[in-house]
Amino acid sequence: MILGIGCDILEIARLEKLVKNNYTHRVFTEEERRQSEGKLSRLAGDFSVKEAVSKCFGTGVRSFSLLDIEVLRDSLGKPYVKLYGGAEKIFLEMGGKALHVSISNTGDLVMAYALMEGEGF
């Protein structure tokens, strides 16, 4: 059963200031920063997923930090998320069993989609 959906679109250039001011550690985990390989589009995609997941919860970024949502890639490059702290708590309280995410981008924009699955009635 679908418990929540969320999507987000972001101009990639909006992340430049965050990177230039060296604030990435406030938004991205060490592993996210490593996997980005310094690519602004990858960080923008991760940020967009974090926003989409927060919308999936129906809360926005409340009661948790963006660091509580970690966006990683499997060996084929498919994105997936790991939840920690407050984000994990909300997910479990809602009866979440799985989170599915997808990212698309152009040269200027990135878009992410999140779907939270839970047990049916």
Residue 88, marked binder: no
DSSP class per residue in 2-70 = EEEEEEEEEEGGGGHHHHHTT-GGGTS-HHHHHHHTT-HHHHHHHHHHHHHHHHHHTS-S-SS-GGGEE
Residue 51, marked binder: yes
Q: Which residues are annotated as a binding site for Mg(2+)?
A: 8, 51
Q: Which residues are annotated as a binding site?
A: 8, 51
